[in-house]
Amino acid sequence: MCGIMGYIGDENAVNVIIKGLEDLEYRGYDSAGIAVSNGSETTVVKTAGSPSGLWDKCKSIKANIGIGHTRWATHGAATEQNAHPHTSEHGMFSIVHNGIIENYAELKSGLDGVRFTSETDSEVIAQLLEKEYTGDLKGTVGGVVKKLKGSFALGIMCSDYPDVLVCAKKSSPLFVGVSPECTYLASDISAVADKSMRIFRLNDNEIGMLTKDSFKVYDTDGCRIRKSEVKIKSFDKSADKGGYEHFMLKEIMEQPTAVRRTLDEITADGKISFKGIKWNRDEISEINNIRFIACGSAYHAGLVGAYAAERLIGCPAEACIASEFRYMYPHLDSNTLVVIISQSGETADTLAALRLAKKKGAKTVSIVNVENSTIAAESDCVIMTRAGKEVAVATTKAYSAQLAVIYALVLYIAMAGEKISKNEFQRYVNELKKLPDKIEQILISAEVGRIPDKILAGDYVCFIGRGFDYCTAEEASLKLKEISYIPCEAYAAGELKHGTISLISDKSLVIALCCSSELKDKIMSNVNEAAARGAKIITVTDIDGDGDIKIPNTLDMFFPSLEIIPMQLIAYYTAKNKGCAIDKPKNLAKSVTVE
């Protein structure tokens, strides 16, 4: 989490860096700051809140080198004091840091007498650099990096070297962009992709030395490392609301295109093929265990995958929360397929799960939306979702594109292993291809009516479902709580009477997803149980049912792609009626690069 931007060149570094930080805001936006130098003096400016708050404060500053940071607080509140850059006691070093320094307390206790001015873990890096400075900048940074435990992407300025930026990283992404006139540093490839002629990705424990016209990389012992460029195939930087009030609404509306584009790349002439999959048919048919691993909404997409895989492939399949995966001490082998799902391709826990899966010899395939992401680079095979750039923190179109890939992947494996007949496969593929049109149909006629007001009037919201509908309940509940801050939960409908039903009263709203053809009767019993205790009920059914919200018919497995659309709209309008910051909900960030 957090965003880093650095620049050396002839333009005013202040403008380039603040603009860059605004582009990186999706990584965190609770406070921001810059450190810039005009060659003789370093100026540090900070603000509590979004990076745009820096413009006014920096109006009269001119500089040709600098670093900036937009923060998502981990250690210490989101105050100006705790905002980066942090400066060493005597002002020699200014640093920006993404990640967490796990041994900061121990390092701090070794800096007796040094005056700290923030509550952050990061400040210790600046103080340590000053304390250990030998006059050799590269050597000093290398020595300090060796002492740091945890994760870090660092941008460093030293007053003795007014025309140099130093960077270093471990387990947190960092990129350098080199053009003939200037050099950039950024924590995200998107911030340098359109500006630079050549882009380089720093690897763990590498130290980068940047000047206006050079970029050199060393290991922590000072030995030179030759780097090759990152090849960028395409980069979608579109960050325009296109007339919509919020990115989230625009992205909800873009879902038919996102799903269509994703499916067009992997389905043709009634067949499914993945360019990114390198295993042969025998290897695929040997798969006897599947784990879908992800965080947040991507985990909910994985939940759908697990239900679909058990049903169609007929092997044990499980969705795992990435942050828990390592602590399950999972049993994996070469016949286990680990499916890593991540919009950003950078989520720290998901990446750690991928690395563990590879270490244990599992087959790994990642489903990502960002082509040059770390997860894409490290997986055995990659399948792209073609959702385009997603700006709103709460995912919508990337989630829908993930579902599309997951369905196709499950069908592909089932077919390769002859677990389903050709006819059955064809029936599924034909229906899969219809999803974009059906999503479009829902968006055209979608009417969420007074449901947002009912949510706001009550004191408890619960989403229930069974089977595939249950997976949607989980995602619907997450959408509502993350953008409207309304406490709500999702329940497998059969579980209601094992606890949650004690919360139900005449002030409760139960939103029941009742599309699954085989489970309709059972979920209706659960709906009646809630209604009998006074709850207001909203039901979602297929077009032939008598639900409050009706969606087009499809095969049970595909209902999650359709049911979620009205749920996203309900969340959106509830948050809007409440006056919430829809695209940037409080305390959240789009890319979660700390564990």
Give catalytic residue positions: 2, 590
Q: Which stretch binds ligand G6P (CB under 6 A): 432-440, 456-464, 494-502, 584-592?
A: 584-592
Spatial CA neighbour of 248 closest among 588, 589, 581, 470: 581
What's the rounded Cα separation, in Å, for the pair 190 and 454?
40
Spatial CA neighbour of 396 closest among 559, 294, 251: 251
Q: Supply the minimum distance, in Å, between the C-beta of residue 395 and ligand G6P.
A: 4
What's the rounded Cα separation, in Å, for the pair 49 and 51?
7
Q: Indicate whether 94 belongs to the interface with ligand G6P (CB under 6 A).
A: no
Contact 291, 320 (CB under 8 A): yes
Q: Supply the minimum distance, in Å, between the C-beta of residue 295 and ligand G6P.
A: 4
Contact 143, 131 (CB under 8 A): no
DSSP 409-433: HHHHHHHHTT-S-HHHHHHHHHHHH
Q: Which stretch binds ligand G6P (CB under 6 A): 208-216, 339-347, 432-440, 572-580?
A: 339-347
What's the rounded Cα separation, in Å, for the pair 176 and 335?
38
Site for ligand G6P in 370-389 (CB under 6 A): none
Site for ligand G6P in 512-531 (CB under 6 A): none
- Tokens 């100026």 correspond to 43
Tokens of 542: 């297929």
Q: Indicate whether 590 belongs to the interface with ligand G6P (CB under 6 A).
A: yes
Q: Supply the minimum distance, in Å, between the C-beta of residue 581 and ligand G6P.
A: 14
Q: Which residue in the set 71, 592, 593, 594 belongs to the binding site for ligand G6P (CB under 6 A)?
A: 592
DSSP 484-539: H---EEEEEGGGGGGTGGGG--TTEEEEEE---TTTHHHHHHHHHHHHHTT-EEEE
Give the Cβ contact number of residue 415 at 10 Å: 24
Q: Indicate whether 391 belongs to the interface with ligand G6P (CB under 6 A).
A: no
What's the rounded Cα separation, in Å, for the pair 519 and 524?
9
Tokens of 342: 């991540």
49: left (phi over 0), alpha (psi -120 to 50) or beta: left
Q: Supply the minimum distance, in Å, between the C-beta of residue 360 and ligand G6P.
A: 21
Residue nearest to ligand G6P (CB): 296
Q: Supply the minimum distance, in Å, between the C-beta of residue 349 and ligand G6P.
A: 9
Q: Which residue in the set 122, 395, 484, 574 belongs to the binding site for ligand G6P (CB under 6 A)?
A: 395
Site for ligand G6P in 346-365 (CB under 6 A): 347, 350
Q: Indicate whether 297 belongs to the interface with ligand G6P (CB under 6 A).
A: yes
Q: Which residue in the set 296, 305, 452, 465 belongs to the binding site for ligand G6P (CB under 6 A)?
A: 296
Strand 93-101 and strand 86-87: the pairing is: antiparallel
Rounded (5°) CA angle 262-376-195: 90
Q: Which stretch binds ligand G6P (CB under 6 A): 163-171, 243-251, 324-332, 390-398?
A: 390-398
- Tokens 């009263």 correspond to 505
What's the rounded Cα separation, in Å, for the pair 161 and 164?
6
Q: Indicate whether 298 belongs to the interface with ligand G6P (CB under 6 A).
A: yes
Q: Supply the minimum distance, in Å, between the C-beta of residue 274 and ligand G6P.
A: 19
Q: Supply the minimum distance, in Å, between the C-beta of residue 278 and ligand G6P.
A: 23
Q: Supply the minimum distance, in Å, between the C-beta of residue 403 and ligand G6P.
A: 13
Site for ligand G6P in 36-75 (CB under 6 A): none
Q: Indicate whether 336 belongs to the interface with ligand G6P (CB under 6 A).
A: no
Give the Cβ contact number of residue 18 at 10 Å: 24
Q: Which residue in the set 82, 196, 343, 372 belongs to the binding site for ligand G6P (CB under 6 A)?
A: 343
Site for ligand G6P in 259-278 (CB under 6 A): none
Spatial CA neighbour of 236 closest among 259, 256, 258: 258
Q: Supply the minimum distance, in Å, between the C-beta of residue 52 and ligand G6P.
A: 21
Q: Indicate whether 97 belongs to the interface with ligand G6P (CB under 6 A).
A: no
Q: Which stretch binds ligand G6P (CB under 6 A): 256-264, 342-350, 408-416, 546-554?
A: 342-350
Strand 3-8 and strand 381-384: the pairing is: unpaired
Give the Cβ contact number of residue 39 at 10 Å: 10
Give 27 or 466: the residue with its C-beta nearer to ligand G6P.
Answer: 27
Q: Which residue in the set 189, 571, 588, 594 belongs to the binding site for ligand G6P (CB under 6 A)?
A: 588
Give 86 or 481: the residue with its C-beta nearer to ligand G6P.
Answer: 481
Across the beta sheet with 183-186, the strand order is 42-48, 31-37, 65-71, 3-8, 183-186, 175-178, 198-201
Q: Indicate whether 472 belongs to the interface with ligand G6P (CB under 6 A).
A: no
Give 27 or 84: the residue with its C-beta nearer to ligand G6P.
Answer: 27
Using CB under 6 A as the criterion, which residues of the chain lie in contact with ligand G6P when the complex forms? 295-298, 342-344, 347, 350, 393-395, 588, 590-592
